[in-house]
């Protein structure tokens, strides 16, 4: 089962459980979500699934009207259209009225249909929703822990919430961990670690694979999921910064208004002890990649080699003056076809140095670098 199937099953369960629950869908999502499930629903239960057509703004206002009359409304649509085309309705109708509307935003980030192109990708939605009062935001990973929690939370808690799914058809990551509302979840936290990855949404699964690859060569790092974007768990972030020398954030979103922006603001305001913060976000140049295969797109923007390079560059530049300027030259693997175990993250560089053309050439973690003269 994947996120999309689980969401549909949860909504069917709520339709059976509570006559005040309504589900609004846009365009063809009534068929996509409920064709099979509707066979097991009564005529009355089916009548509370309403196809609003291709009319996103009207759907948000209609959902607000139902909510202000005592209904619990779930609105399902593409994240791109919900956040941008219906932004004014989200602000004036849902946000200002604190309406009990649950916004299920599917295909966040680059995970929209490839054939549809730029119009179907949501890379700015968290920034837009972050500016609207009263609306909570959850960016949900491919995890049953997170999906189950937030679907239950949305039903039992009054008020609007934006539930963002990056790629709702993807399979779950095989991890079980604790999810407590806005608190950052701990997935991996070894006792001896010099860096942490704080990921959100689809990037949690991607970060998990990076951590597993690093573990194969004896490098340990912490992994956390920031599933609640608003409200954000600042206490949890403080603990992470105290425990780790390097913090990397991973998100399928532009730098403004998302996870990286929140973390940067916290660091600027609270000035914790010296911290090396490395945000991985979608940059303007990445828009040219959106028509590529989804996995290739993500790999181009958030690849393991770049992350290793950044971690080693920060650590080594602090401990050795001559390594202050690090530049990527080429990638290689050793004779065992794996990353070289001389990689070190605790500030004591272990590397093989060769003097070539008055430049220092050396290996860190199986990646070849050279220093500027």
Please determine, for residue 263, whether its predicted confidence score (pLDDT) is greater than 60: yes
* pLDDT class of 188 with cuts at 50, 70, 90: very high
* pLDDT class of 312 with cuts at 50, 70, 90: low
* pLDDT class of 328 with cuts at 50, 70, 90: very low
**Which of 57-71, 265-279, 286-300 has the highest mean predicted lDDT (pLDDT)?**
57-71
- Going by C-alpha positions, the residue among 118, 146, 74 that lies closest to residue 284 is 118
Q: Note the pLDDT tens digit of each residue in 123-143.
A: 899 999 999 999 999 999 999
Burial class (CB in 10 A: 0-12, 13-18, 19+), 206: buried
CATH of span 185-307: 3.40.50.920
CATH of span 3-165: 3.40.50.970
Q: Note the pLDDT tens digit of each residue in 349-363.
A: 333 343 344 444 444
pLDDT (0 to 100) of residue 50: 92
pLDDT (0 to 100) of residue 357: 45
Q: Mean pLDDT over residues 166-185, rounded? A: 85
* pLDDT class of 166 with cuts at 50, 70, 90: confident
Domain edges within the chain: 3-165, 185-307, 319-371
pLDDT (0 to 100) of residue 313: 55
pLDDT (0 to 100) of residue 287: 62
* pLDDT class of 310 with cuts at 50, 70, 90: low
Please check whether the two domains, 3-165 and 185-307, share a CATH topology. Answer: yes
pLDDT (0 to 100) of residue 320: 41
Please determine, for residue 86, whether its predicted confidence score (pLDDT) is greater than 90: yes
Higher per-residue confidence, 171 vs 233 = 233
Q: Which of 85-94, 118-127, 255-264, 355-364 has the lowest mean pLDDT?
A: 355-364
Q: Report the chain's mean pLDDT, rounded to a whole number.
A: 79
Q: Mean pLDDT over residues 322-328, rounded? A: 32
Please determine, for residue 116, whether its predicted confidence score (pLDDT) is greater than 70: no
Higher per-residue confidence, 294 vs 74 = 74
- What angle in degrees, to the nearest 10, is found between the helix axes of 234-243 and 259-270? 70
Q: Note the pLDDT tens digit of each residue in 25-41.
A: 997 655 566 777 777 78
pLDDT (0 to 100) of residue 339: 34
* pLDDT class of 278 with cuts at 50, 70, 90: confident
Please determine, for residue 54, whether its predicted confidence score (pLDDT) is greater than 80: yes
């Amino acid at each position: 089962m994947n996120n999309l199937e689980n969401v549909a099953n949860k909504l069917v369960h709520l339709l059976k459980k509570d006559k005040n629950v309504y589900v609004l869908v846009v365009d063809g999502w009534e068929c996509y979500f409920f064709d099979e499930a509707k066979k097991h629903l009564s005529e009355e239960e089916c009548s509370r699934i309403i196809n609003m057509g291709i009319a996103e703004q009207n759907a948000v206002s209609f959902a607000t009207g139902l909510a202000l009359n005592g209904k619990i409304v779930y609105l399902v649509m593409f994240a791109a259209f919900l956040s941008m085309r219906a932004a004014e309705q989200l602000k004036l109708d849902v946000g200002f009225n604190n309406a009990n509307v649950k916004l299920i935003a599917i295909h966040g980030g680059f995970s929209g249909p490839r054939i549809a192109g730029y119009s179907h990708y949501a890379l700015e939605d968290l920034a837009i929703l972050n500016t609207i009062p009263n609306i909570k935001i959850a960016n949900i990973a491919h995890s049953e822990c997170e999906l189950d929690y937030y679907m239950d939370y949305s039903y039992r808690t009054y008020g609007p919430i934006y539930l963002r799914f990056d790629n709702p058809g993807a399979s779950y990551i095989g991890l079980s961990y604790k999810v407590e509302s806005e608190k950052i979840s701990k997935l991996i936290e070894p006792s001896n670690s010099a860096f942490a990855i704080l990921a959100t949404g689809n990037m949690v699964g991607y970060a998990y694979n990076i951590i597993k690859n690093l573990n194969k060569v004896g490098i340990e790092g912490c992994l956390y999921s920031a599933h609640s974007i608003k409200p954000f768990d600042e206490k949890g972030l403080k603990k992470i910064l105290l425990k780790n020398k390097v913090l990397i954030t991973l998100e399928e979103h532009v730098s403004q208004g998302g996870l990286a922006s929140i973390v940067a603001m916290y660091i600027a305001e609270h000035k914790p002890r010296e911290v090396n913060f490395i945000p991985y976000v979608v940059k303007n140049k990445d828009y040219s990649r959106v028509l590529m295969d989804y996995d290739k797109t993500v790999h181009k923007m958030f690849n393991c080699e770049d992350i290793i390079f950044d971690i080693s560059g920060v650590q080594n530049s602090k401990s050795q003056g001559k390594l202050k300027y690090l530049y990527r030259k080429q990638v290689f693997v050793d004779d065992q076809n794996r990353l070289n175990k001389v990689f070190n993250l605790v500030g004591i560089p272990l590397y093989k140095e060769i003097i070539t053309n008055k430049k220092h050439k050396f290996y860190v973690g199986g990646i070849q670098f050279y220093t500027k003269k």
